[in-house]
């Protein structure tokens, strides 16, 4: 088989396999007649009716706001704390035990505590919870990124008389950026999970809340539509971040090498 | 920057360790211990001073006391064992599925491309979204918990295994082929060893994910375990107990993390990335 026919076959398979999976899902749900597994077509119709866009503002916007705010806080804190910690050995020796403890803590174990401690099941608790657990991947990756910088780079900047802040902004931060983005990708997918968990645990709005209510009232089609929406949200947010990363890191050698292949 | 480096080289050159070098090696350890002690002291003070009410944040000593007395009950250890069981089954089944499938998808460019879209689409799906579905289909059984933990732990391991198999040195592979080494032996002798560091990283990530989801299943669906007794304590307003269970869960998470990152370091010991950081 020559190169061209092989490529054509591979592209055909790339399209055929997902289509086959969806067709199999539809066929199985039609044949099973199980109310717990509504037909794929029913789910998609429900999806359109709920999310495009009658309940979009009521439930999707609050969820996205919480993800955005929590992720944003985590990003700012992670970089602001991570750069000095990456530069200071003693800072790391002091901070690492605390960071290691919280990053190993399973997030749902703090769900009831976050409600008690913050006296809230509204945005304050949701955003704080999302921000807290999104912090660690960004923080740890920033620290690693800063530590991995070629010392010659910093020494050169110093010998050119570049001052502390200037050096951090123009040398340290850009050099750590590829690794910071790696942390951001982990954190963003974590943010979606934390959003679902906090809303499913206690709330009055959001996609996780719809999931909980439709389960409690045994409305299976809306429940499936919410599951599909959460999947789409996770996928789209991940895609958006990759696009941003590609733009911001266009100068980076690793990226150029990776995209050239 | 240059000065301390010089000092340490000189110190290493000496035959007997001096007091200064011994102190230099001991200092980080002492500071670590002091830092942990300071953290615990702050917790105690914030609560005792009334900065945060003791109803909201029980003092550190109160919480540890509660955990200590819980550790003398059978219920605690049963719940602890159930959580560990859910975690282990989830991680074990995920490994048994993800590693062979990852090797399969990673070894064949065609298979990898054919399944790329479904994998990329299913991977970021938060497994938490499946909780209501599992609740309605499998109910509050161990099966639900294990399914959830397996689903979550499967993806990081699968992706890492695929990367690992694809990252195999092509020269080593071609050399083996030209020496007439068979397909199976190439897999066993070359592809698998070179993928093991990646699999170890995947295992570290998945071991945490599996615990999170086992606990989540217990908290939300009422499957037996630490999550379930936390849910009960919370609904009775037993805040101290909620904190003690969170503490126990944290220690379990920490133990799993320490264990699997030690394994990762061991699997990576020959890898260039380790040699660079070991300088």
State residue A11's pLDDT score: 85
Which residues on A lie below 8 Å from B32 (Cβ)?
93-94, 96-97
Question: Average pLDDT of chain B?
Answer: 85
Distance from CA of A66 to the nearest CA of B (A): 16
Indicate if the alpha-carbon torsion angle B264, B267, B272, B278 is positive or negative: positive
Q: Which residue of A has its CA nearest to B40?
A: A98
Q: What's the fold here for domain A41-250?
A: MetI-like fold (1.10.3720)
State pLDDT tens for residues B144-180.
Answer: 999 999 999 999 999 899 888 888 888 888 888 888 8
Q: Is B250 within 8 Å of A90 when comparing Cβ atoms?
A: no
State residue B181's pLDDT score: 85
Distance from CA of B195 to the nearest CA of A (A): 20
Whether the per-residue pLDDT at B220 is higher than 60: the answer is yes
Question: Average pLDDT of chain A?
Answer: 87
Using a pLDDT cut of 90, give the percent of chain A over it.
33
- What pTM did the predictor assign? 0.86
CATH class of this structure's domain B70-277? mainly alpha
What mean pLDDT comes out for the span B187-215?
89
Which residues on A lie below 8 Å from B127 (Cβ)?
193
Indicate if the alpha-carbon torsion angle A104, A108, A113, A117 is positive or negative: positive
Using a pLDDT cut of 70, give the percent of chain B over it.
89
Distance from CA of A109 to the nearest CA of B (A): 5
State pLDDT tens for residues B113-148.
Answer: 888 878 877 776 778 888 888 888 888 888 999 999
Whether the per-residue pLDDT at A222 is higher than 60: the answer is yes
Are the beta carbons of A67 and A241 closer than 8 angstroms? no
Whether the per-residue pLDDT at B2 is higher than 60: the answer is no
More confident residue, B81 or B54: B81
Q: Is B129 within 8 Å of A100 when comparing Cβ atoms?
A: no
| Helix, coil or strand: residue B228 | helix
Which residues on A lie below 8 Å from B28 (Cβ)?
93
State pLDDT tens for residues A56-90.
Answer: 778 888 899 999 999 999 999 999 999 999 988 89
* Residue ranges in A88-172 assigned as alpha helix (H): 89-104, 111-118, 123-147, 151-159, 164-167
Confidence class for position B8, pLDDT limits 50, 70, 90: very low
Six-digit token pair at A51? Answer: 């999310």
Using a pLDDT cut of 90, give the percent of chain B over it.
47
Q: What is the DSSP string of B20-31?
A: HHHHHHHHHHHH
Domain ranges of chain B: 20-57, 70-277
CB-closest option in B57, B114, B239 to A17:
B114
Which residues on B lie below 8 Å from A1 (Cβ)?
none
Which residues on B lie below 8 Å from A234 (Cβ)?
124-126
Six-digit token pair at B159? Answer: 């992706």
CB pairs under 8 A between A and B: 154
Q: Is A9 within 8 Å of B136 when comparing Cβ atoms?
A: no
Distance from C-alpha of B75 to C-alpha of B219, rounded to nearest angstrom: 16
- Residue B244 burial by Cβ neighbours in a 10 Å radius (0-12, 13-18, 19+): buried
Six-digit token pair at A201? Answer: 């645990």
């Amino acid at each position: 088989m020559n190169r061209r026919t092989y490529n054509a076959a591979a592209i055909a398979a790339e399209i055929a396999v997902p289509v086959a999976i969806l067709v199999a899902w539809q066929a199985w749900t039609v044949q099973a007649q199980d109310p717990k597994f509504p037909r794929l077509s029913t789910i998609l119709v429900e999806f359109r009716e709920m999310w495009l866009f009658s309940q979009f503002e009521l439930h999707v916007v609050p969820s996205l706001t919480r993800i955005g705010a929590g992720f944003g806080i985590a990003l700012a804190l992670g970089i602001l704390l991570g750069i000095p910690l990456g530069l200071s050995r003693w800072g790391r020796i002091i901070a690492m035990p605390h960071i290691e403890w919280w990053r190993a803590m399973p997030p749902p174990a703090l769900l009831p505590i976050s409600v008690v401690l913050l006296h809230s099941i509204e945005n304050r608790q949701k955003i704080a919870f999302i921000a807290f657990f999104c912090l660690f991947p960004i923080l740890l990756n920033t620290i690693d990124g800063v530590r991995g910088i070629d010392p010659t780079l910093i020494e050169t900047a110093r010998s050119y008389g570049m001052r502390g802040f200037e050096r951090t902004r123009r040398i340290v931060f850009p050099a750590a950026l590829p690794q910071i983005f790696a942390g951001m990708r982990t954190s963003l997918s974590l943010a979606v999970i934390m959003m679902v968990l906090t809303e499913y645990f206690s709330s009055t709005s959001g996609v996780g809340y719809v999931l909980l209510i439709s389960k409690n009232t045994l409305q299976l089609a809306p429940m499936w539509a919410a599951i599909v929406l959460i999947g789409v949200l996770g996928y789209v947010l991940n895609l958006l971040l990759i696009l941003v990363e590609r733009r911001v890191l266009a100068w980076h050698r690793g990226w150029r090498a990776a995209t050239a292949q | 920057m240059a000065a301390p480096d010089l000092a340490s080289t000189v110190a290493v050159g000496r035959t007997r360790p001096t007091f200064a070098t011994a102190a230099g090696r001991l200092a980080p350890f002492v500071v670590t211990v002091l830092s942990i002690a300071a953290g615990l002291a702050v917790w105690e003070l914030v609560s005792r001073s009334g900065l945060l009410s003791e109803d909201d944040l029980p003092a550190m000593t109160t919480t540890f006391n509660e955990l200590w007395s819980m550790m003398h009950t059978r219920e605690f250890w049963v719940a602890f064992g159930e959580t560990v069981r859910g975690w282990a089954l989830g991680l074990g089944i995920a490994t048994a599925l993800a590693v062979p499938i990852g090797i399969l998808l990673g070894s064949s460019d065609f298979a990898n491309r054919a399944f790329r879209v479904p994998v990329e689409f299913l991977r970021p799906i938060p497994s938490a979204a499946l909780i209501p579905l599992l609740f309605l289909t499998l109910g509050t059984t161990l099966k639900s918990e294990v399914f959830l933990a397996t689903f979550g732990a499967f993806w990081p391991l699968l992706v890492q295994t695929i990367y690992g198999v694809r990252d195999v040195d092509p020269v080593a592979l071609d050399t083996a082929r030209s020496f007439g080494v068979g397909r199976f032996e190439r897999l066993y002798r070359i592809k698998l060893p070179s993928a093991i560091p990646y699999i170890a990283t995947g295992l570290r990530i998945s071991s945490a994910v599996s615990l999170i989801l086992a606990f989540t299943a217990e908290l939300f669906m009422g499957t037996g375990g630490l999550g379930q007794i936390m849910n009960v304590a919370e609904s009775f307003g037993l805040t101290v107990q909620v904190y003690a269970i969170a503490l126990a869960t944290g220690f379990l998470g920490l133990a799993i993390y320490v264990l699997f990152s030690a394994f990762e370091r061991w699997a990576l010991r020959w890898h260039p990335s380790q040699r660079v950081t070991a300088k």
